[in-house]
Structure 1
């Protein structure tokens, strides 16, 4: 049961991004069946990309959550996935967010990087920040940096390192599926080999879309009465 109405703009953004604006979207599992599985959503039309919260809603509606990267090998795996897509410029949301409230009352607040936590509950301490990130200003949400046309900085290429971004910015995103059995056998991978043949399929099942549409109509009518 859905307890809250999603804002109609969020509903429209999620549906349009996932069904009309996606360039590539695929669920990928280790050896075809082993969890975790991943889905990289690269949206060619930058206007249809999603904010952090809308990207998370899209992942959760599909049974996952925004990506947690728990080790260097998982980081490298994500890099290979995105490279295979041959995607253009556009960062990817990951499930890392900052909260100044995640420490016990009466204790000293930790440094800004320590305030970042994984939304899916992962306790992994692995981080891959760019050398001068996070900037720890008003930018609270993390992205996997992907601007292949940008020149390298003085420390080398920024590509695939992490950056903090405004949570209302619009980006591509990566979902992670950690529990249960995968529904679709989409792409088989080994630790050392990524097979490039894959099947594209609808990101959200039709029944879920109908549910979203019904909730959206209900919310619209409720707002219209006010």
Structure 2
């Protein structure tokens, strides 16, 4: 394994020197869209102050150092909030749960994006970390599963493929055996606890915890508080 984990209360963390660079961009808030595009298209309006508009999802792709729904917020975020570091990228696991698009918005508000798991290394490190989360740190509400985590991958009917929130196709996948199996209904992807945190396609309105990702180019522009 290669990556750094924030120390747990009951013991030390795990850390190894990264050696592979990865990249990501900051994705802005997505409009609430119908799963598998079953509803008519919604006219996209608005502006991206420091980023580019993605008309397909009616969302912004923020420039490095900016976040918020319209990429108008200068990001100030402490590096020590990272739960996991992998090859320079920072991953933060949410303590609360939300729908897919709610989770996407909350990551965006922090200047992050839902995690892009682009290779087996990142998959293995995140799965290991999630498996070690203490029970007392889990969400206890009974109206959603607390062991599953949204990542930034959805099925795009117009492209007939799963794509990351930045619009790029997924060349790497880690779907559990028999998945994806919700053709036409579940087009958002979760890391599923019962499948050793391999992937499952799920209804986007399901409430899960989620993983936000901060890329190296964003971290380098963070403003440090004294």
TM-score (norm 2): 0.53
| Aligned equivalents of 2:192, 2:102: Cα separation in 1 | 19
Q: CA RMSD in A?
A: 2.7
Q: Whose relative contact order is higher, 1 or 2, with alpha carbons under 8 Å and at least 6 apart?
A: 1
What residue in structure 2 maps to residue 12 of structure 1? none
Higher Cα Rg: structure 1 or 2?
1
**What SS does the corresponding residue of 1:180 show, helix, strand or coil?**
helix
TM-fit CA distance, 1:84: 2.9
Alignment deviations for residues 57-103 of structure 1 (CA, whole Å, 9 cap, x no partner): 0001101100110110100110122123224542100100011112x
What residue in structure 2 maps to residue 217 of structure 1? none
Match for 2:189 among 135, 142, 146? Answer: 142
| Gap runs ≥5 in structure 1 | 5-24, 44-48, 103-109, 148-157, 186-226
| Aligned equivalents of 2:85, 2:168: Cα separation in 1 | 19
| Aligned equivalents of 1:128, 1:122: Cα separation in 2 | 16
TM-fit CA distance, 1:122: 4.7
What residue in structure 1 maps to residue 218 of structure 2? 180
Aligned residues of 1:29 and 1:35 also touching (Cα < 8 A): no
Structure 1 runs of 4+ with >6 Å offset: none
What residue in structure 1 maps to residue 82 of structure 2? 27
Aligned residues of 2:85 and 2:91 also touching (Cα < 8 A): no
Taking structure 1 as reference, are residues 29 and 42 closer, same or farther at Cα in structure 2, changes over 3 Å only? closer
- 2:137 aligned with 1:100: no
What residue in structure 2 maps to residue 50 of structure 1? 98
**What SS does the corresponding residue of 1:55 show, helix, strand or coil?**
helix
Q: How many residues align?
A: 136
**Structure in which a larger fraction of residues adopt helix:** 1
| Gap runs ≥5 in structure 2 | 1-28, 30-45, 48-79, 139-145
What residue in structure 1 maps to residue 116 of structure 2? 68
**What SS does the corresponding residue of 2:132 show, helix, strand or coil?**
helix
Aligned residues of 1:35 and 1:177 also touching (Cα < 8 A): no
Taking structure 1 as reference, are residues 29 and 163 closer, same or farther at Cα in structure 2, changes over 3 Å only? closer
Alignment deviations for residues 92-123 of structure 1 (CA, whole Å, 9 cap, x no partner): 00100011112xxxxxxx5xxxx110003455
